[in-house]
Amino acid sequence: MVEAVQNAGVVVTGAGGGIGAALARRFAAEGARVVVNDLDAGKAEAVAGEIGGIAVPGDASATVAEARDALGGTIDVYCANAGLASGGSEAAGEEVWARAWDVNVMAHVRAAEELLPAWLERGSGRFVSTVSAAGLLTMIGAAPYSVTKHGAYAFAEWLSLTYRHRGIKVHAICPQGVRTDMLAGAGSAGDLVLQPTAIEPESVADALFKGMAEDRFLILPHPEVAGYYQARAAHPDRWLTNMNHIQRTWEETR
């Protein structure tokens, strides 16, 4: 159990299903007061009704003020979970790149901008960023997703190194495949790379709570990602050659 979660005011964006819903359920089960945010109002209300939470539907970029009011004026934990799995290459189109950047990175920046003044004043606050192993490694067939998830990871890392001495705790969750609608929509690339080791959303929530209890920044629901990340740093050309092999395999099966 993470004692700081008891009666805490928690916001989870993109919580109408998948990882977000699993996080919302787990926080509620641990005694937190949970705001469930999702673009789909019906899904947000369904999950909120199930866990005794509060539904605040709408764009994750503009949910902090309303969520704070719903929680009585204080947000203790903010889970920046909403994300966009944009596939494609450099030619995906500027509107695709812009939307991926807005949802996967700038929504986190905007939330932090609103949350940090109060957190820094009181000397505590917890920011949870659902990134992806793609933010540490990369994902074939999905340039906008890979690049913006690298950005999400970099921003979480920056928050942690900048404010940890002032009581701000930051966690970056970086799973590989998770059995959600996002994975189902990943197409043949997801089938090749992610499906074989895919886990349930509840396993991601378990990994987060274990990481919070151990006060760890980097949360790896797939432990093998640590080895891949080390190999990428130690032998980048070898790693790129191996990834290119996966790319060619994918191209041959399309």
Q: What pLDDT shows up at residue 111? A: 97
Domain that holds residue 24: 3-253
Q: What pLDDT shows up at residue 181? A: 72
Structure tokens at 96: 């695709």
Tally of domains in the chain: 1
Q: Is the pLDDT of residue 205 over 80?
A: yes
50, 22 contact by CB (below 8 A) = no
SS3 category, 173: strand
Cα within 13 Å of Cα(158), Cβ side: 10
Q: Which amino acid is located at 177 in the chain?
A: G
36, 9 contact by CB (below 8 A) = no
Would you place residue 83 in the very low, low, confident or very high pLDDT band (cuts 50, 70, 90)? very high
Cα distance between residue 81 and residue 16, in whole Å:
11
Q: Could you please report the per-residue DSSP string of 181-239? A: HHHHTTHHHHHHHTGGG-B-HHHHHHHHHHHHHTT-SEE-SSTTHHHHHHHHHH-HHHH
The 3-state secondary structure of 96-112, one letter per residue: HHHHHHHHHHHHHHHHH
* Active site positions, annotated: 145
Mean of pLDDT values over 140-161: 96
Would you place residue 61 in the very low, low, confident or very high pLDDT band (cuts 50, 70, 90)? confident
CATH label of the domain that carries residue 124: 3.40.50.720
Q: Is the pLDDT of residue 72 over 80?
A: yes
> Tens digits of per-residue pLDDT, 12-56?
999 999 999 999 999 999 999 999 999 999 999 999 999 999 999
> Tens digits of per-residue pLDDT, 93-104?
999 999 999 999
Q: What pLDDT shows up at residue 193? A: 67
Cα distance between residue 81 and residue 14, in whole Å:
6
Would you place residue 178 in the very low, low, confident or very high pLDDT band (cuts 50, 70, 90)? confident
Mean of pLDDT values over 162-189: 85
